[in-house]
Amino acid sequence: MKNWTKAEILDVYNKPLLELVYEAATAHRQFHKAGEVQISSLLSIKTGGCSEDCAYCPQAARYHTDIKVHKLMSIEEVNTASERAKNAGASRMCLGAAWREVRDNKDFDKVLEMVKTINAKEMEVCCTLGMLTEEQAKKLADAGLYAYNHNIDTSEEFYGDVITTRTYEDRLNTIKNVRKAGMTVCSGGIIGMGESVEDRIGMLFTLTNLTPQPESVPINGLVPVEGTPLEKQEIVPVWDMVRMIATTRIVMPHTSVRLSAGRLSMSMEAQALCFMAGASSIFAGDKLLTTPNPAFNEDMDMFNILGLTPKAAFSEKKVMA
């Protein structure tokens, strides 16, 4: 696999937009079935009250946001939600918890049960629970966890401007532990937080240099939430979103590029360009973790209009080193 330098990634990012989209679409077609888009379903199993200071996040206890704090859901509730998601066409279920890290307690045992329950439905199960030790990663893998989401969020240089309660190194360590346990890695970030283009490139550079590269890279447009330090950020221009998705597709041609948070402020035309540029997954359902997402029916209309079909579970190959 090609080793990209930052300068090369920047050159890709800065290509004339339509040329960039064309090249990304071409790369996309080499390793993916164009027109297939995975529907993933997000469920916040433990909401709010988090000890971290991630400047974008409505779930940090220290910011005063209008979210409903909720302790860990029951296994039954998670079972019902995943059944509903599966019936609606989702092939991946992603469980999110507002934790700094996983602790070895009853709540973790409950999450392991949730993973087993969903796994038995032939859905890909993904969790995003904060930092993990090697042992905890192993337990999740043994329970049948398919993927672990742990975003690096931005460049190493900008990271400290967004989060101070943990380091970039901490993030990379958890990703290592996930790999050691044999699970697939989902790691990406957010644009629109006030970062420079170089920071976006720095983030992609870090991701391309992981060996193996992540099987899944979510690109989130910041959803500015009242009460968080980033509440006043302007919505990122769709052209930046398209450039970021296209560049991710070109530098990591095997990976699943996820058009994640931020779709509510994008038109169908803008999203169509993102699919053209290689986005192969969305989170569908009226809510992301705590913020609104396009209505499910509207997304299905979009699939019909654009001729997209939902991707089946486990249809993507693991990325080789």
Binding site for ligand SAM (CB under 6 A): 56-57, 59, 96, 98-99, 128, 130, 150-151, 153, 190, 220, 222-223, 225, 261, 289
Q: Which of 193, 201, 197, 196 is nearest to 228 (CA)?
A: 193
Of 1-9, 27-35, 263-271, 282-290, the window that binds ligand DTB (rule: CB under 6 A) is 282-290
Tell the smallest beta-carbon distance from residue 100 to ligand SF4 (Å): 6
Of 16-24, 52-60, 270-278, 291-299, the window that binds ligand SF4 (rule: CB under 6 A) is 52-60
Angle of helix 197-208 versus helix 6-13 axis, rounded to 10: 120
Q: Name which of 220 and 255 has its Cβ closer to ligand DTB.
A: 220
Distance CA 293, CA 308 (A): 19
222 binds, among ligand SAM, ligand DTB, ligand SF4, none (CB under 5 to 8 A by kind): ligand SAM
Distance CA 38, CA 92 (A): 8
Q: What are phi and psi of 227, to 5 degrees?
A: 105, -20
Alpha helices (H) along 120-196: 134-142, 156-162, 168-180
Tell the smallest beta-carbon distance from residue 190 to ligand DTB (Å): 8
User: DSSP character for 145?
Assistant: -
Tell the smallest beta-carbon distance from residue 249 to ligand SF4 (Å): 25
Distance CA 135, CA 178 (A): 10
Return the percent helix, strand and coil in the chain, to nearest 5: 40, 20, 40
- Tell me, yes or no, if 274 is annotated catalytic: no
Of 1-9, 233-241, 274-282, 284-292, the window that binds ligand DTB (rule: CB under 6 A) is 284-292
- Tell me, yes or no, if 50 is annotated catalytic: yes
Residue with tokens 């080789």: 320
With the CA atoms of 77, 82, 88 and 93 taken in that order, what torsion angle do they form, in degrees rounded to the nearest 10?
A: 140
Catalytic residue among 92, 126, 200, 263: 126
Q: What are phi and psi of 119, to 5 degrees?
A: -60, -35
- Tell me, yes or no, if 127 is annotated catalytic: no
Distance CA 119, CA 72 (A): 19
Q: Does 285 bind ligand DTB (CB under 6 A)?
A: no
Instruction: Please tell me whether residue 256 adopts helix, strand or coil conformation.
Output: strand
User: DSSP character for 100?
Assistant: S
Catalytic residue among 92, 127, 171, 186: 186
Q: Name which of 25 and 175 has its Cβ closer to ligand DTB.
A: 175
| Options 41, 44, 59, 256; binder of ligand SF4; rule CB under 6 A | 59
Which residues of this protein are in contact with ligand DTB, per CB under 6 A?
Answer: 42, 58, 94, 96, 128, 149, 151, 188, 218, 220, 223, 260-261, 288-291
Which sequence positions are flagged as catalytic?
A: 50, 54, 57, 94, 126, 186, 258
Which residues of this protein are in contact with ligand SF4, per CB under 6 A?
Answer: 50, 52, 54, 57, 59-60, 98, 100, 130
